[in-house]
Amino acid sequence: MTTLTRKPHLSTKARDALALLALDPRGLAEALLLTYGFTRRMIAQLVLAGLATAQRQTVKVGGERTEIVRIRITEAGRRALRG
């Protein structure tokens, strides 16, 4: 019996976001992705699909602590880029 596996269909914009995330193993700040024109909705869809993860981090900027969200590509995201 043959099992069919569905590959997630990625828009060009989603593929571009994953390619950008793949450049840095530490991931990128959500704010940076937004400045590149990616939307929160698209980023959330990548996370919900398991192609990326989102993690809150507290960082020190100019002597003050602030919270950021760091987005990282997952192994599934890397496979989706290759496939």
Q: Is the confidence at residue 76, as pLDDT, over 60?
A: yes
Instruction: Supply the mean pLDDT for the chain.
Output: 91
pLDDT for 10 equals: 87
Tokens 């192609």, located at residue: 51
Q: Is 38 among the domain residues?
A: yes
Give the sign of the dihedral formed by CA 10, CA 16, CA 17, CA 18. Answer: positive
Give the sign of the dihedral formed by CA 57, CA 42, CA 47, CA 74. Answer: negative
pTM of the entire predicted model: 0.84
- Domain of residue 46: give its range: 12-82
Q: Is 3 among the domain residues?
A: no
* Number of domains making up the chain: 1
Which of 59, 20, 55 is closest to 38 using CA atoms?
A: 20
> Among 12-16, 58-62, 64-68, where is mean pLDDT lowest?
58-62
Q: Is 7 among the domain residues?
A: no
Contact 29, 69 (CB under 8 A): yes
